[in-house]
């Protein structure tokens, strides 16, 4: 624990800086990130080049998923720290979070030049290699790192996804021995179980693989107990119902009149593993569409104005002028102005399902694509995936099912409210004929087919060789075998579907309590 916070009246500037840093640490120890950020920002008003404050604000911004804010602080850090491995590492990590892999690689290579033995830099550089599709180089890097850091759960998980493992691979025994070590943190054991599950599934030992994924999820639930309990208590389904109720037909008509067409946006939304990235690859290949990837712009905008926790009710009092101003700030938050000839920018941020009413109102040329997958397949794919970001619903079948049901319900609401600007992309249809789905969505944008969008122009993934479905920089070809998961684990279908039906009933109850008509698209099981 840090030292207790105290008052700063009458202190010298240096003493105030020192005490503010102590207060920031005390706030962090107490779980008050807002207070910690306030203290660190005060430090910068007294000492603009304080490296500790800049590092702390970068970490806080990343934890709050405010990536663009983190980048602003990281650039300041680099200016202050100069030719420093530490600064280049931090800048590289922020670029990596933003999906700017080329810039991340450049910064991390500078860090390696200055400090070749820094393990954390090498860890992040492996992620860059994965994003760039440099599979063989990445495997070599990971094996070298594991030779030094034999107990790192992050490295083991990255290694498990970097290549294919035959049945009986020695790495399986290594992880099992590691899991027996006393004193491992719950989070460490959880991630190791996911790595084990991936290796066992590669070797077609599917029963043992599922048990490993079950164990990993159970441990992760234990580590994220408070967040999981909040989901189970109904916080998110009630909030989703409140959002749907807030954006009724009358309000949307009023807000849409304040919207100004600035840049085209196409939101690809839905639960994780529902096909957003498969669609994005084909669509982004068109010269009139550009990929913005996952940009947490709305979250950052609302947090910056202290409006996130009270969303959407905090927007209740906004008048026409304030709505126009909000639209201007939202447009500016997306970043650089659109290039000539770009009709729309593709955004795959999952959380935009909650903000669709705001975005579609204030950006009147924006569109929404609802990505949907068979609920059992979708839930199972989430259940078997370790997510680096905080997804508190992702670690138990009941909360995963509820997240899918919430996405279904909100998607149905936006489709009712914006019938001409919302469409559905079905996962099975994408697998069956990816070109037909992409062609339909291009026509929906008023665009002609372009040969660059064809599925055969993408890189055919070879999971039997490298164990990867693709990378951030290489577009992966759509492969019908992606759907085999429901055949392999078919004996789990009844348990998963029962949870989905129960989740739909809970979501319907929240909708009814909010005075809303029941969603039409629930209970697809």
Domain holding 305: CATH number? 3.40.50
The tokens describing 511, both together, are 């909708």
When mean pLDDT is compared over 9-13, 126-130, 392-396, the highest value belongs to 392-396
Examine the pLDDT at 250 and tell me if it is beyond 90. no
- With cut-offs at 50, 70 and 90, classify the pLDDT of residue 465: very low
5 contacts 27 by C-beta, under 8 angstroms: yes
Examine the pLDDT at 461 and tell me if it is beyond 60. no
Report d(CA 25, CA 32) in Å as an integer.
10
Which domain covers residue 190, as residue numbers? 133-223
Q: Using the structure block, give the residue that is written with the tokens 């997958």.
A: 373
Q: Are residues 357 and 287 in the same domain?
A: yes
Q: Are residues 366 and 438 in the same domain?
A: yes
When mean pLDDT is compared over 94-108, 353-367, 438-452, 473-487, the highest value belongs to 438-452
Q: Are residues 192 and 260 in the same domain?
A: no
Examine the pLDDT at 171 and tell me if it is beyond 90. yes
Q: Are residues 168 and 193 in the same domain?
A: yes
122 contacts 141 by C-beta, under 8 angstroms: yes
CA-to-CA separations, 102 to 92, 108, 158, 205, in angstroms, rounded? 10, 10, 20, 37
- What's residue 2's pLDDT? 45
Q: Are residues 192 and 294 in the same domain?
A: no
Q: Are residues 152 and 282 in the same domain?
A: no
What's the predicted TM-score (pTM) here? Answer: 0.81
| 131-140, long-range: CB < 8 A, 24+ apart | 131/96, 131/99, 131/101, 131/471, 131/472, 131/473, 132/101, 132/105, 132/471, 132/472, 132/473, 132/474, 133/459, 133/470, 133/471, 133/473, 133/474, 135/162, 135/163, 135/466, 135/468, 138/162, 139/163, 139/466
Percentage, residues of the chain above pLDDT 70: 90
Residue 40 lies inside a defined structural domain of this protein: no
Indicate the number of domains in the chain: 2
Q: Are residues 217 and 292 in the same domain?
A: no
- What's residue 7's pLDDT? 52
More confident residue, 336 or 53: 53
Examine the pLDDT at 219 and tell me if it is beyond 90. yes
More confident residue, 464 or 415: 415
- With cut-offs at 50, 70 and 90, classify the pLDDT of residue 464: very low
Domain stops at, among 164, 194, 223: 223
- What's residue 426's pLDDT? 95
- What's residue 3's pLDDT? 47
Residue 75 lies inside a defined structural domain of this protein: no
- What's residue 4's pLDDT? 46
- What's residue 525's pLDDT? 59
Residue 71 lies inside a defined structural domain of this protein: no
Mean pLDDT of 492-508: 96
Angle at 406 between CA 401 and CA 409, to 5 degrees: 125
Q: Using the structure block, give the residue that is written with the tokens 């319907």.
A: 508
pLDDT digits (tens, 9 = 90+) for 179-194: 999 999 999 999 999 9
Mean pLDDT of 28-36: 77
The torsion defined by the Cα of 248, 251, 257 and 263, in degrees rounded to 10, comes to: -60
Query: Does a cis peptide bond (omega within 30 degrees of 0) precede residue 312?
Result: yes
Q: Are residues 478 and 509 in the same domain?
A: yes
- What's residue 306's pLDDT? 67
Residue 86 lies inside a defined structural domain of this protein: no
Residue 425 lies inside a defined structural domain of this protein: yes
pLDDT digits (tens, 9 = 90+) for 60-112: 888 776 788 888 898 899 888 878 888 999 999 898 888 888 889 889 888 88
Residue 186 lies inside a defined structural domain of this protein: yes
Angle at 484 between CA 482 and CA 489, to 5 degrees: 130
Q: Are residues 292 and 353 in the same domain?
A: yes
- What's residue 337's pLDDT? 67
Residue 110 lies inside a defined structural domain of this protein: no
- With cut-offs at 50, 70 and 90, classify the pLDDT of residue 471: very low
When mean pLDDT is compared over 34-38, 76-80, 141-145, 448-452, the highest value belongs to 448-452
Average pLDDT over the chain reads 86
More confident residue, 481 or 237: 237
Domain stops at, among 223, 243, 274: 223
Mean pLDDT of 327-349: 81
- Which CATH number goes with the domain that contains 181? 1.25.40
Q: Are residues 174 and 252 in the same domain?
A: no
Mean pLDDT of 360-366: 89
């Amino acid at each position: 624990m840090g030292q207790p916070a105290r008052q700063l009246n009458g202190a010298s500037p240096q003493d105030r800086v020192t005490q503010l840093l102590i207060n920031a640490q005390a706030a962090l120890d107490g779980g008050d990130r807002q207070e910690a950020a306030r203290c660190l920002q005060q430090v910068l008003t007294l000492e603009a080049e304080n490296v500790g404050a800049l590092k702390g604000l970068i970490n806080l911004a990343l934890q709050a998923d405010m990536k663009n804010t983190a980048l602003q602080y990281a650039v300041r850090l680099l200016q202050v720290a100069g030719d420093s491995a530490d600064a280049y590492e931090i800048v590289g990590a922020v670029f990596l979070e933003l999906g700017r892999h080329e810039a991340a690689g450049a910064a991390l290579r500078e860090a390696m030049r200055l400090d070749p033995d820094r393990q954390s830099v090498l860890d992040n550089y492996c992620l860059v290699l994965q994003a760039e599709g440099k599979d063989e180089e990445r495997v070599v890097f990971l094996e070298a790192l594991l030779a030094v850091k034999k107990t790192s759960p992050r490295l083991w998980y990255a290694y498990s996804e970097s290549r294919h493992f035959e049945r009986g691979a020695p790495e399986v025994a290594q992880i099992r021995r590691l899991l027996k070590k006393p004193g491992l943190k719950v989070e460490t054991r959880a991630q190791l179980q996911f790595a084990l599950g991936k290796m066992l599934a590669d070797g077609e030992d599917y029963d043992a693989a599922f048990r490993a994924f079950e164990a990993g999820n159970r441990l992760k639930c234990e580590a994220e107990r408070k967040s999981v309990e909040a989901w189970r208590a109904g916080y998110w389904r009630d909030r989703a119902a409140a959002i749907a109720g807030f954006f009724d037909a009358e309000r949307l008509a009023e807000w849409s009149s304040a919207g100004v067409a600035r840049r085209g946006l196409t939101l690809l939304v839905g639960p994780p593993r529902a096909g957003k990235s498969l669609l994005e690859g084909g669509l982004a290949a068109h010269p009139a569409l550009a990929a913005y990837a996952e940009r947490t712009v709305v979250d950052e905008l609302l947090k910056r104005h202290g409006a996130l926790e009270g969303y959407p009710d905090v927007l209740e009092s906004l008048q026409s002028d304030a709505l126009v101003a909000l639209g201007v700030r939202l447009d500016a938050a997306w970043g650089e102005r659109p290039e000539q000839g770009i009709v729309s920018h593709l955004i795959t941020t999952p959380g935009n399902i909650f903000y669709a009413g705001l975005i579609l109102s204030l950006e009147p040329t924006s569109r929404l694509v609802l990505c949907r997958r068979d609920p059992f397949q979708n839930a199972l794919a989430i259940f078997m995936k370790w997510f680096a970001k905080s997804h508190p619903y992702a670690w138990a079948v009941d909360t995963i099912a509820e997240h899918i049901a919430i996405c279904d319900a909100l998607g149905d609401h936006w489709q009712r409210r914006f019938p001409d600007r919302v469409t559905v992309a079905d996962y099975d249809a994408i697998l069956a004929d990816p070109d037909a789905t992409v062609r339909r969505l291009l026509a929906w944008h008023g665009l002609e087919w372009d040969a660059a969008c064809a599925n055969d122009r993408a890189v055919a993934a070879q999971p039997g060789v490298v164990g990867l479905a693709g990378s951030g920089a290489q577009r992966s070809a759509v492969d019908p075998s992606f759907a085999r998961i429901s055949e392999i684990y078919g004996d789990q279908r009844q348990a998963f579907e029962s949870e989905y039906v129960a989740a739909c009933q809970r979501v319907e109850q929240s909708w009814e309590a909010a005075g809303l008509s029941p969603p039409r698209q629930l209970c697809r099981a």
